[in-house]
Amino acid sequence: MRHSRAIDVSTGLFVLLGLTAIVFLVTQISNREFSLGDTSFRLRAQYENIGGLKVGAPVKMAGVTIGRVEAIGYDMKQFKAVVTLRIDRQYDEIPNDSDASIFTAGLLGGQYIGISPGGSEEYFKDGDQVEFVQDAIVLENLISKYMFSQAARESEAKAGAGAAPEPQK
Mean pLDDT of 123-147: 86
Range of the domain at 81: 40-144
What is the overall mean pLDDT for the chain? 85
Question: Is 75 part of any domain?
Answer: yes
Mean pLDDT of 34-56: 84
24 and 53 housed in the same domain: no
**What digits encode the pLDDT tens for the residues 58-104?**
999 999 999 999 999 999 999 999 999 999 999 989 999 999 999 98
Question: Is 45 part of any domain?
Answer: yes
If DSSP codes are grouped into helix, strand and coil, which group holds residue 66? strand
103 and 44 housed in the same domain: yes
Classify residue 138 by its DSSP letter.
Answer: P
pTM for the model? 0.65
If DSSP codes are grouped into helix, strand and coil, which group holds residue 163? coil
Element housing 112 (H / E): strand 111-116
In the predicted model, is pLDDT for residue 122 greater than 70?
A: yes
